Amino acid sequence: MAARIIDGRAMAAEVRAEVASGVADLIVEGFEPPGLAVVLVGENPASQIYVANKIRQTQSVGMRSECFRLSSETSVQELISLIQRLNMDDAIDGILIQFPLPAHIDPAHVVNVIAAEKDVDGFHPLNVGHVANGARDALTPCTPLGAMRLIHSVHEDIAGMDALVVGASNVVGRPMARLLLQAQCTVSIAHIRTADLARLCRTADILVTATGVPGLIRGDYIKLGATVIDVGITRVQQETGKERLSGDVNFDEARQVAGAITPVPGGVGPMTIAYLLANTLHAAQCRRARGDTQSTPVQWNAISRADAAERCNQAEVEAGRTPKYSKGNE
């Protein structure tokens, strides 16, 4: 029997509905909506598309979004000065630096300048440490959070299951392994240089791969009935000259063996942006709970509250759920 296809787009719609509900609750309580600042350095065409999509989805759930577009000639100090201003800006709850950056800018240095409580990518060393320690309110990298949500859509409880993460990057592999360990899985980490990778993959009840090597994981690598989460996404040139998106997993082979599998595209990708929104909301909630905002809560007028409620209801409907707010009860 062919594997169940895990629908990342449908799951992402659920996450957006949850975020829109949380944003509406903040506004109804008298707070300003969360604010996300997106910084784009250079003219990378793919980055421009990603940024436009992130801004659109941020606004769709009722958050405010500001985009700062800088030239590829921007100096390191100019970028750092902007981030420092955003760190101090009370209207900004989350800061996102769109990667890749121009070659003359060190990404690690830039990440370290972002205030940890506004680091919605979860890359700041303090947030990495909080995730490693299992802190409940840690800002965690978005892709591993989305992958965990997809896994839990298949298995309510994954405690005691054997999990393998193929790929050991700081962005996906390592935080993914930590989240699986927190869920009480027995976790192994591999990578493209692992000896006899196929043998190791066949032991995994849950297989998460994030190497960026198209077709690395063949069907005969997979344990019968395993849940396979394919984070890899690479543009591959076809014989026709056109490009297609390919994951790390040979999908046609794997779906004949796995119990559940994510497609590429339409699997993990939509969840990454959805959890960027969730992290921004989480950062805003934490800042308000701590009293970090410098101004007192703004009492939004009835029109703003009604708009927030409408956005929430629209997101609920898109996720196939019952609208939360009834008319006149915002």
Task: Indicate which residue of 57, 93, 119, 121 is catalytic.
Answer: 121
Task: Indicate which residue of 54, 93, 223, 285 is catalytic.
Answer: 54
Non-local CB neighbours of 258 within 8 Å, separated by 6+ positions: 3, 222, 225, 226, 227, 228
Q: What is the DSSP letter of 217?
A: B
Whole-angstrom distance between the N-terminal and C-terminal Cα of the chain?
Answer: 47
For residue 214, say if its preceding peptide bond is cis, omega within 30 degrees of 0.
no
Entry field: residues in the chain: 330
* Distance between CA atoms of residues 254 and 231, nearest Å: 14
The reply, when asked if residue 169 is annotated as ligand binding, is: yes
User: Which residue from 261, 140, 145 is spatially nearest to 206, judged by alpha carbons?
Assistant: 261
Which residues sit opposite 207 in a β-bridge? 164, 228
Angle (CA) 320-63-15 rounded to 5° is 30
Non-local CB neighbours of 98 within 8 Å, separated by 6+ positions: 38, 39, 40, 41, 47, 50, 51
Task: Indicate which residue of 93, 98, 223, 248 is catalytic.
Answer: 98
- Residue with tokens 């990454």, as numbered in its chain: 272
205 is catalytic: no
* Distance between CA atoms of residues 222 and 235, nearest Å: 24
Q: What is the DSSP letter of 324?
A: S
The reply, when asked if residue 233 is annotated as ligand binding, is: yes
* Distance between CA atoms of residues 100 and 97, nearest Å: 9
54 is catalytic: yes
Q: Is 316 helix (H, G, I), strand (E, B) or coil?
A: helix
The reply, when asked if residue 153 is annotated as ligand binding, is: no
Q: Which residues are annotated as a binding site for NADP(+)?
A: 167-169, 192, 233
What amino acid positions are annotated as catalytic residues? 54, 98, 121
Q: Which residues are annotated as a binding site?
A: 167-169, 192, 233
